[in-house]
Amino acid sequence: MLKDGSVVINDPEYSLKRWQEHNPLAVDADAIYSLPKCDVIFRMDRLPSLDEVQLAIARVSQVSGGKAPGLNGVPMELLKVGGVNITDAILGFVEEIWAGSPVPQDWIDGILVTLFKGKGQKNVWDNFRVITLLEAAGKVLARLLLNRLLGDMNDLIGHYMVER
């Protein structure tokens, strides 16, 4: 329905526009391209360690534990309790990716799911929120990258920060 509740939306382009209005993660490509360029941080190239993968699994498990898995059905809890065998397997995949193999498409793709907020009319888009279901291994890779980037954050933006 439209914001005023009067018309059902059957136009795919308008539906996409409305979805973008309600998705706070929609990104403006122009904003990304306008960001200042930074020097390459070559230490980011080094292969991840087993400890880094274990830390990434632990951090993702704190956030994703008990939540719905992605398409492959592997819950985050399995990675968390899988021990060194699972961690070694994920490290092997990550090392292949680091060496230039493509990231598995299943690790990249997400399933968009709309959830009713529990109040209001179910035929009004404003009463829903959108979540993305992602594969557990893809979350671990993303967390590993994030941990590395956060470790270098002071180098990247330190001169922009203001001490208080």
pLDDT of 43 reads 76
Strand partners, 131: 113
pLDDT digits (tens, 9 = 90+) for 133-147: 888 899 999 999 988
Residue 144 confidence (pLDDT) = 92
Cβ atoms 69, 107 nearer than 8 A: no
For the stretch 65-123, pLDDT in tens is 667 777 788 888 888 888 899 999 999 999 999 999 999 998 888 888 889 999 988 88
Which pLDDT score is estimated for 82? Answer: 86
**If you average pLDDT over every residue of the chain, what do you get?**
79
d(CA 97, CA 144) in angstroms, rounded, equals: 13
> Is residue 1 predicted with pLDDT exceeding 70?
no
Do the Cβ atoms of 76 and 136 come closer than 8 Å? yes
State residue 44's pLDDT score. 77
- Confidence (pLDDT) at 164: 38
Quote the pLDDT of residue 104.
Answer: 92
Distance of CA 151 to the CA centre of its chain: 18
pLDDT for the residue numbered 13: 72
Mean local confidence (pLDDT), 47-61: 91
Segment 52-60 mean pLDDT: 91
Distance from first CA to last CA of the chain, Å, rounded? Answer: 48
Domain ranges of the chain: 12-160
- How far CA 116 is from CA of 23, 73, 125, in Å, comes to 14, 23, 9
User: Does pLDDT of 41 surpass 90?
Assistant: no
**What pLDDT is attached to residue 73?**
81
